[in-house]
Amino acid sequence: MIQIEILKQDSGKKLHRYVRQILPGLPLSGVYKMIRVGRIKVNGKKGKNDIVLVAGDQLTIYMAEEEYRELARAKPKFQGVHTNLDVIYEDEHLLVVNKPVDLLTHPDHSEHKNTLINRALAYLYRKGEISDGRSFLPAAVNRLDRNTSGVVMIGKDSDTLRLLTQSIREHRVQKQYLAIVWGRLIGEGEIDAPLTRDQRKNKTFLGDQQSELAKGALTRYRALGTAAGFTLVEIDLISGRTHQIRAHLKAIGHPLLGDAKYGGKTAFGVEHHLLHAYIVRLADGRKFVARPSEVFLNVLSSTGLHRFIKE
């Protein structure tokens, strides 16, 4: 068996993520199985996937040393990934990037390697800021859909990740989006409508206020200008449900251009929704601004909506 003491830099990480990190050669399904059958213990007790580790915890892994060394020597998935990143801001604690369209924030069943977080890890690895082994791996504070572009923050250490995640949970981080929607939308307003999620269909629906499955969701919007049958909208995302903006805008009859899943027809050859995470303001006053994608800017120009864009 293998005995490991959790270090300060790994405090705050869930058990299954930590084990996946120290044993990159073991697939996630293998990690789950080891935890489920009791081959991983925390402080002498059977581990659970969602246990949050703290400094000083004693981890016991029931595995032969030779197998452990082999699995630990495997190259992390981010090695070999190219490091194309549009960096907005960086310091020793935080990396802020402008995510492009058609890139996952995190790996999923369709793509395991070329993702935003793996690009960021490869970038930091090549800079010498992270290394193989058990040290904390930076992680995304917020995530965006594959075809939503804009600001994504990546915490380089566990304290930064925890503090920013808590700030978002407490609504002390302001997130503004730009969207191009179908139809003439005037003025400003808010959409306060609970949402339910169908994981199988990967789709979000308006839910019943009385339903236990429905989660509260609040979106505020301001129409910046209308042209050629479209409206440029600035959106304040108050809560952060999956596909919230897309579902809420469909609910008021103004789906995103290109958002076929939520009723938005294509135009100008654009076959994905036009939604951009434009500005993030932190509680300490820092502000991060991401330039919209070329596709977004081209549609603004084609419709005449560029007249309403903020500089």
Active site residues: 145
**Phi and psi at residue 258, in whole multiples of 5°?**
85, 0
Q: 130, 74 in Cβ contact below 8 A? A: no
How far CA 130 is from CA of 120, 168, 185, in Å, comes to 11, 25, 47
Q: How many other CB atoms are there within 10 angstroms of residue 87's CB atom? A: 11
Pairwise CA distance, residues 130 & 104, whole Å: 22
d(CA 50, CA 42): 12
Report the DSSP beta bridge partners of residue 41. Answer: 46, 60
Cα dihedral 272, 278, 281, 282, rounded to 10, equals 40
**DSSP strand pairing (87-90 vs 40-42):** unpaired
